[in-house]
Structure 1
């Protein structure tokens, strides 16, 4: 059950990041003028899907607390790196972000770290 908690944390973390990026992109860039920045941020805070991203972060933290009852932090935390991989892949498909050799190399190193760390259980 502990791994369900870890992967619940990852799922809700990734959902929140993707949702925030998607909805914020729909509103455009942050304005320069202070008053316009405040209005812009208030609009973002009233967007139901952005609120779902915030709620998702809260739910992820609940899953993480449950995971902490099952695993040592030094063992569980590297699995959170899977969120980097999932956000990277989803951002390519959903937001047409670019793939570079440096990004791919970084992800390979992250995945290798997860494999090595998971062997220490």
Structure 2
């Protein structure tokens, strides 16, 4: 059912957004793990807290998804996070986008398509 796929897509986008927030929070923070106090300071930064909150929400949504979709379908479809992360990192963080990354993303998309079209979820 289309709603199930949209829920998985929403969950995946929330997870990737949380990862991007964590990355924003970690920019120029190479020495944030030097002491316990620095780790605590890092963990209460707005980017990190917001990312953790998004992960909490995504977890609740994931539990709901699992009541509607077989795990063997839902989990592989969530691998679209790799696709979003690779291109998002390129556009947002100016990370390099190599031919091998593009080929890998295409292979993931092909695999997800096979699972999605064969599942009937």
RMSD: 1.5
Partner of 1:83: 81
* Aligned equivalent of 2:96, options 84, 95, 98: 98
The total of aligned residue pairs comes to 117
Q: 1:1-121 residue pairs with structure 2 within 5 A?
A: 1-25=3-27, 27-30=28-31, 36-121=34-119
**Structure 1 unaligned regions, length at least 5:** none
Partner Cα distance (1:107, 1:3) in 2:
19
Structure 2 unaligned blocks of 5 or more: none
Q: CA deviation at 1:30?
A: 3.3
Distance 2:80 2:49 in 1: 24
Higher mean displacement: 37-46 or 102-111:
37-46
Q: TM-score, normalised by structure 2?
A: 0.88
Superposed CA deviations along residues 3-25 of structure 1, whole A, max 9, x for unmatched, are: 23212211210111000001111
Distance, in Å, in 1 between the alignment partners of 2:107 and 2:31 is 34
Cα offset for 1:66?
Answer: 1.0
More helix by share: 1
